[in-house]
């Protein structure tokens, strides 16, 4: 069987997969962007792709969601207020995949998936508190913000767990069966 290398089409497929999953109806925060960030950090030979794939998929889907599906803003919106918190969390998650998934074991993947979803929750809710006006800029306000975000954490952790299991599981299975080469070559 011919071996598969992830080329630019593969990178584009990951971006489209993440983009589509954010547009279809789903539980809040249940999407593959965090898992793709971890996966890219762990497996992609081209580190630029590892960092760009989750950010590009997030940005393009944000443009579609904010301007065409929800129409929350009065004019066309390229970036929403507070985007920096969400985007930076995915960059950090990619870095976690890069640094902490050099050894890909079930335990390591589970721990990094859980820690990444927790990191996303902490950073993005801190951003809501820090950048917004909904909560007072006090410790009590911050704790109230985190408490209000708990229902969204369920979708975050379930999405990270589901999509990490899917991406890492399929890839490791194909690697084990020698259907694909590793490391992934993205320079074709």
Residue 3 and residue 38: Cα distance in Å, rounded? 23
In the predicted structure, residue 157 carries a pLDDT above the cut 50: yes
Task: Report which of residues 99 and 7 the model is more confident about.
Answer: 99
Q: What percent of the chain has pLDDT over 70?
A: 88
Percentages helix, strand, coil for the chain (3-state, rounded to 5) are 70, 0, 30
Characterize 167-187 residue by residue with b for buried, 16 or more Cβ atoms within 10 angstroms of its Cβ, and e for exposed.
bbeebeeeeeeeebebebebe
The pTM of the whole model exceeds 0.85: yes
Highest mean pLDDT among 9-23, 52-66, 144-158: 144-158
pLDDT of 48 reads: 87
In the predicted structure, residue 176 carries a pLDDT above the cut 80: no
pLDDT of 181 reads: 63
pLDDT of 8 reads: 64
In the predicted structure, residue 6 carries a pLDDT above the cut 80: no
Residue 40 and residue 20: Cα distance in Å, rounded? 18
pLDDT band at residue 183 under the 50/70/90 scheme = low
pLDDT of 74 reads: 77
Q: For the chain, give every domain's residue range.
A: 8-176
Residue 132 and residue 129: Cα distance in Å, rounded? 6
Between helix 83-100 and helix 47-64 the angle, nearest 10°, is 150
In the predicted structure, residue 91 carries a pLDDT above the cut 50: yes
Comparing 46-55, 157-166, 168-177, which segment has the lowest mean pLDDT?
168-177
């Amino acid at each position: 069987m011919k071996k598969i290398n992830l080329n630019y089409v593969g990178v584009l497929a990951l971006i489209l997969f993440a983009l589509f999953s954010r547009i279809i109806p789903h539980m809040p925060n249940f999407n593959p962007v965090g898992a793709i960030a971890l996966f890219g950090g762990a497996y992609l030979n081209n580190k630029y792709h590892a960092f760009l794939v989750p950010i590009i998929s997030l940005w393009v889907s944000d443009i579609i969601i904010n301007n065409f599906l929800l129409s929350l803003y009065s004019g066309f919106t390229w970036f929403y207020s507070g985007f920096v918190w969400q985007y930076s969390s995915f960059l950090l998650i990619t870095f976690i995949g890069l640094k902490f998934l050099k050894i890909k074991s079930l335990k390591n993947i589970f721990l990094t998936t859980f820690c990444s979803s927790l990191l996303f929750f902490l950073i993005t809710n801190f951003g809501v508190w820090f950048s917004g006006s909904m909560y007072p800029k006090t410790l009590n306000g911050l704790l109230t913000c985190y408490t209000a975000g708990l229902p969204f954490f369920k979708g975050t952790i379930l999405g990270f767990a589901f999509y990490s299991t899917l991406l890492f599981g399929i890839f490791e299975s194909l690697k084990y069966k020698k259907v694909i080469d590793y490391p992934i070559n993205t320079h074709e």
